[in-house]
């Protein structure tokens, strides 16, 4: 088996790992940030903690590392519009929430009003993970916003979003 064939098979297999779809939001001073996130999971019961991966160089990662605050807003299957909006990315300084209904609670981080649920978190650890950084955060507040089924994502290739 050639090296390319071997890598293709790995990519196809990795692409079959199902992941949820969320919008990761952050607030650092007057700057708001957001990105579409699909690599996240619960990692602890006590205290309740989640982890998520962010590709190196994403502005939202720097905001989270500086402010130590973030939110995961889980999307439901009826929110394809949010998938399109947050999936396109934003230039530094651009308001990612223009035209989007948000609220703020205990941490002051933007929360999507119509998401399936939200998890407000405080950053605890950051680890190097190849071309990404792995963040571990404690959930300090949460809310269920809408009824429905969580949006799930499968990739065609595990080497690309």
pLDDT tens digits, residue range 98-127?
999 999 999 999 999 999 999 999 999 999
Residue 63: its pLDDT value, please? Answer: 94
Quote the pTM value. Answer: 0.92
Q: Identify whether 160 is part of a domain.
A: no
Q: How confident is the model at residue 22 (pLDDT cuts 50, 70, 90)?
A: very high
Note down the domain range covering 37: 3-153
Burial tier of 4 (Cβ tally within 10 Å: 0-12, 13-18, 19+): exposed
What is the domain-level CATH number for residue 14?
2.30.110.10
Q: Identify whether 158 is part of a domain.
A: no
Q: Identify whether 159 is part of a domain.
A: no
Quote the number of domains for the chain.
Answer: 1
């Amino acid at each position: 088996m050639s090296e390319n064939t071997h890598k293709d098979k790995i990519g196809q297999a990795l692409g079959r790992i199902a992941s949820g779809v969320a919008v990761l939001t952050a607030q650092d001073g007057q700057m708001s940030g957001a990105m579409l996130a699909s690599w996240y999971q619960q990692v602890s019961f006590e205290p309740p903690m989640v982890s998520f991966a962010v590709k190196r160089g994403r502005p939202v990662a720097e905001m989270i590392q500086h402010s130590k605050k973030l939110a995961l807003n889980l999307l439901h299957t009826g929110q394809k519009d949010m998938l399109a909006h947050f999936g396109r990315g934003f230039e530094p300084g651009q308001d990612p929430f223009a035209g989007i209904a948000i609220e703020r609670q205990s941490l002051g981080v933007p929360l999507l009003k119509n998401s399936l649920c939200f998890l407000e978190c405080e950053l605890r650890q950051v680890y190097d993970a190849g071309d990404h950084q792995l963040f571990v955060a404690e959930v300090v507040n949460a809310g269920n916003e809408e009824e429905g089924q969580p949006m799930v994502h499968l990739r065609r290739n595990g080497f690309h979003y």
